[in-house]
Amino acid sequence: MIIVTGGAGFIGSNIVKALNERGERDILVVDNLTNGHKMHNLADLDIADYMDRLDFIERINQGESFGKGGVQAIFHEGATSATTEWDGHFVMKNNYDYSKSLLHWSLQRGVQYLYASSASVYGAGGTFVEQREYEQPINMYAYSKFQFDQYVRRLQPEMRSQVVGFRYFNVYGPREQHKGTMSSTAFHFNKQIKESGVAKLFAGCDGYGEGEQRRDFVYVGDAVKVNLWFLDHPDKAGIFNLGTGRSQAFNDMARAVIEWHGRGKIEYIPFPDHLKGAYQNFTEADISALRAAGYHDSFLTVEEGVRAYMDLLNG
Active site residues: 141, 179
The 3-state DSSP class for residue 268 equals strand
DSSP E strands: which ranges in the chain? 2-5, 27-31, 49-52, 73-76, 112-118, 163-168, 170-172, 198-202, 214-215, 217-219, 238-242, 248-249, 265-269
Number of other residues whose CB lies within 10 A of the CB of residue 244: 23
Are 265 and 198 contacting, i.e. CB atoms less than 8 angstroms apart?
yes
Contact yes or no for 220/10 (Cβ under 8 A): yes
Backbone angles phi, psi at 25, to 5 degrees: -120, -15
CA dist list (Å): 146 to 25, 46, 88, 116, 186? 33, 33, 14, 11, 27
